[in-house]
Structure 1
């Protein structure tokens, strides 16, 4: 039998209002500088800094949650936590912030991977970088095209990414076809001289 659909209440959406995408003591000077550069671009409204919450429910509009529940009925679990916020301890995991540009249909994510994301010694696990790419794709697709479901994602890893590095991910919508939203993403170092990965994806809009 299918699970009962999600029910949304104010307590679900506002159980933890802390914004985890604000600078903290673990951010390196390079991460803070890039953050401040992007914050300057939000002054005229062309870019928007997106908050980082502890629960995935808080990222969606209530009407979209209802539509998602119809497509994929699941039972609400009260103690869930958004995967990227698996720990409240600073520095250890996915330190990141995402900025969105609606007119250009793209997002820029600043990412500083912590030591709990290691794969090979001193190198971030490929799955952790893939998670960050998928998240940046998702935010771009949802904010620019109201698409939420990952159809396909292809990643070409170009260079090992050291733990603690500051990474810049830029994802953009390249085209749309019916409910399909096509996106591309580049993952580079802070001064954009090293390419760590290239990716492409197809997301689907909700019916």
Structure 2
């Protein structure tokens, strides 16, 4: 979650708050994260593997973005490495990891071929501190035959509430995630993941979430989470 998409999402929010046209999705005033290996392909744009329903939902939310009330958040393939002057904490931690392996790091949700794993797009409402993620899961996310694996749902919940915490508080990490699985989700279906920032207490950000069917008649999952804004000057082992 500490990737280039977060930096661009924060940049888009800055642009909106400063009165820039929302359709342009302006980049950040300064690069929060940099990388030696970065793919510029935005994976939150329509693909041939997207179903008709997912494309329709995308178009509906893009329509909401026209007046600036919602922002379309980009999504990229590679997690960025950090500049030492900006992120001493992570540079210290990365010294414990083989540099070659670190350079091969790739966002987990983007490690599947198109249509087989995680296909999703997120939209953010700054006034309501809310993110809606349109998620289409592929056949390689199966758990029990015919249904999504619970870990795949947990991954997308963490990605959604985590992005909500990032755009609200900056660089954060998950401290706690509680998930209540109410109903199994049929494999290859489309769901809406609704995330809401509930409160901020110092460095702590509390975010809640639910997973619903597209028609909002079925509640599949509920979750609460706690994120902690990192102290970038503090080193850890």
Tell me if both proteins adopt one fold, taking TM over 0.5 as the criterion. yes
Paired with 1:30 and 1:119, the residues of 2 have a C-alpha distance of: 23
SS at match of 2:50: coil
Paired with 2:198 and 2:143, the residues of 1 have a C-alpha distance of: 31
The unaligned stretches of length 5 or more in structure 1 are 1-7
Q: Which residue of 2 aligns with 1:69?
A: 90
Check the 8 A contact 2:192/2:211 in 1, yes or no.
Answer: yes
Moved over 4 A (4+): 62-65
Equivalent residue runs for 1:56-135 within 5 Å = 56-57=79-80, 66=87, 69=90, 73-75=93-95, 76=99, 77-87=102-112, 89-135=113-159
2:64 counterpart of 1:41: yes
Q: Which residue of 2 aligns with 1:183?
A: 207
Paired with 1:67 and 1:108, the residues of 2 have a C-alpha distance of: 33
Q: How many residues align?
A: 194
TM-score by length of 1: 0.87
CA deviation digits over 1:8-55, x for unaligned, max 9? Answer: 65534xx31111111111111111111111101111222111111111
Residue 206 of structure 1: CA displacement? 2.2
TM-score by length of 2: 0.76
Q: Which residue of 1 aligns with 2:18?
A: none
Residue 86 of structure 1: CA displacement? 0.6
Check the 8 A contact 2:34/2:80 in 1, yes or no.
Answer: no
Check the 8 A contact 1:67/1:206 in 2, yes or no.
Answer: no
- RMSD of equivalent CA atoms: 2.1
Which of the numbers 212, 223, 234 marks the counterpart of 1:199?
223
SS at match of 2:36: helix
